[in-house]
Amino acid sequence: MKRSIIDLWVGIFVAIGLASVTFLALKVANLTPQSNNNSYTLIAEFDNIGGLKVKAPVKSSGVVVGRVSNIELDTKRYVARATLTLDGQYHFSRDTSAEILTAGLLGEQYVGLVQGGEEENLKPGDRLQLTSSALVLEQLIGKFMTSFAEGNNKAAAADAAAAETAP
Amino acid sequence: MLDNLLAPLRKLGHSTINAIWKLGVMSRFLLAIIAHSGQSLLRFQLTIREVYFAGVLSLIIIVVSGLFVGMVLGLQGYNTLSRFGSADALGALVALSLLRELGPVLAALLFASRSGSAMTAEIGLMKATEQLEAMSVMAVDPIARVVAPRFWAGVISMPILAALFNVMGIFGGYLVGVVMIGLDEGTFWSQMQNNVDLHFDVINGLIKSLFFGIAVTLIAVFEGFDATPTAAGVSSATTRTVVTSALVILALDFVLTAFMF
């Protein structure tokens, strides 16, 4: 087949296109090779997951050890059931606790794992026993406001009592 | 008197019917191109030639515009984000705005004005100089010989150009954000990788540009093929290509975005 200089340029053009797509896929997008044979899942149930989303990171001591792969509502007990897919090289003891934390004040939420002390490790599919829910800022403020108001009422009542007994 | 009042109404009706007519002719034209693609893909050399003219020769404008768009995004993004103390997110901002919208749309607009208009002028001129008729006389189908290779060349080139535009834009954002302003390089890339999804953002952006490629090239070859075979006709057809393509790109972008994201 006859080759011409135009073929060369078109070849270069297509190669640039392939290189661009590869760059976008590997360097720009988060294409983490999901080695499924080398990962395992754990279940964590929370009363309230706040703003946790699927694909949120699971961290232990700040190191990403896996991702949240699924979130659903347990329709029997009405708790949120999060499936954590962890990297196979990390193992956690049976009394590991999971909590939902927030990166920074307004950052994304992630699951933090704190290693326990037991010898035996969690097996794939196990449920984490110790979990603590997400800190929901509105509830926190609500509680604070209520206790603040109660405190004021008590102070007012004490003042009134003091005023009655004084004379 | 009544006639004067009704004239604009008549004009509106006329142009509406004309537009619908054109849409029908265009659909038939697209079918004809697809029907004749077999022949033109068999003689792939023709398509390669057109990829050279439509794609390779557009490289310069795509590279330079992409770089500058990315640099401007970097500057403006930094100015805005630093007000909210989140200049770290610059990488994500640049990458997402390029991949989702700016890359495909701007590359398509540039492609329409650089290559689409050239295609229209070329085919229109062939028609004006009666080359197309000469082909028909020699039993060479002008759609298979002239139109289909250009159409496929445009469809092939557009996603490549959009991808290159994205890469150059991200590089421009990197130049401004990291090299000029001095953001942390690791944060720039990791924020980008954390927030860009391969399927959702990258692939959907490329699908968008594929649709733009089909639309722009179809308009370009159709306007050329449909041009009045005079100098004025060819020039107005060229203008129509650029105007119609720009409008169709923006409208199509809205529809595709509504579907995808």
Per-residue pLDDT reduced to its tens digit, B170-219: 999 999 999 998 888 888 888 888 888 887 888 999 999 999 999 999 99
Most confident of A105-119, B18-32, B58-72: B58-72
**Which pTM does this prediction carry?**
0.73
Structure tokens at A83: 């499936």
pLDDT at B117 over 90: yes
HSE (side-chain half, CA atoms, 13 Å) at B58: 35
Mean pLDDT of B132-159: 90
Give the integer Cα–Cα distance in Å for B219 and B213: 10
pLDDT tens for each residue of A37-55: 678 888 888 888 887 877 7
Give the three-state DSSP class for A58.
strand
* Contact criterion met (CB below 8 Å) for B40 and B149: yes
Predicted confidence at residue A141, as pLDDT, reads: 86
Q: What is the ipTM of this complex?
A: 0.76
- The minimum CA-CA distance between A105 and chain B, rounded to whole Å, is 12
Number of residue pairs across A and B with CB atoms under 8 Å?
Answer: 68
Give the integer Cα–Cα distance in Å for B218 and B148: 10
pLDDT at B140 over 90: no
Predicted confidence at residue A36, as pLDDT, reads: 55
CB-based contact, A28 to chain B, within 8 Å: yes
Residues of chain A positioned with their CB less than 8 A from the CB of B189: 27
pLDDT tens for each residue of B27-47: 999 999 998 888 777 778 888
Residues of chain B positioned with their CB less than 8 A from the CB of A10: 48, 51-52, 55-56
Mean pLDDT of B83-102: 88
A121 pLDDT band, cuts 50/70/90, is confident
For chain A, what's the residue count?
167
DSSP states along A95-140: T-EEEEEESTTTS-EEEEEE--S-SSBPPTT-B-SEEE----HHHH
**Phi/psi of residue A105, each to 5°?**
-75, -40
Among B202, B204, B210, the residue to mutate for chain A (most A Cβ within 10 A) = B202
* Contact criterion met (CB below 8 Å) for B108 and B88: no
Question: From the list A6, A10, A29, which residue is nearest B202 (CB)?
Answer: A29
Helical spans, DSSP H, in chain B: 2-42, 44-54, 59-83, 90-97, 103-111, 117-128, 131-137, 142, 148-174, 185-195, 204-226, 231-260
